[in-house]
Amino acid sequence: MKLFSCIMGLLLFLLQAVPGLGLPKDTLRCVGYHGFCFRSKSCPKPFAAFGTCSWRQKTCCIDTTSNFHTCQDEGGHCVPPKIKCLQQQVGLCPHRKWKCCTEV
């Protein structure tokens, strides 16, 4: 699994370095959250769906056994940056700048 992550990171670096070969924004967001793009609409276990890839053609899946859990899996909810959290929670939100809160 770590080898696959390293290969994906190298591929992302090479695609950004070569002009005209950039990845779609949704794919970059998925890879930024250490996700993987799958062709099927549902993710295989132990992955959980976390958005889309390739211009909404594929599903972004993140590994639920890693440290990158979604906010809802951790018992929180995602809020925009202008809302203040009384208690912030660790977890991924679908929008990069949003934060995960247990209490607002």
**Distance from the Cα of residue 68 to its chain's centroid:** 8
Cα distances from 96 to residues 17, 56, 83, in angstroms, run: 23, 17, 15
Q: Are residues 78 and 62 in the same domain?
A: no
Same domain, 61 and 76: no
3-state DSSP call for residue 9?
A: helix
Q: Has residue 35 been placed in a domain?
A: yes
Model confidence, pTM: 0.48
90 is a domain residue: yes
Asked if residues 69 and 92 have their Cβ atoms less than 8 Å apart, the reply is yes
- pLDDT tens by residue, 6-61: 676 666 666 555 543 578 888 888 887 778 888 888 888 888 888 899 888 999 98
Domain identity same for 62 and 73: no
Do the domain assignments include residue 16? Answer: no
Residues 55 and 77 grouped into a single domain: no
The domain in which residue 75 lies consists of 69-103
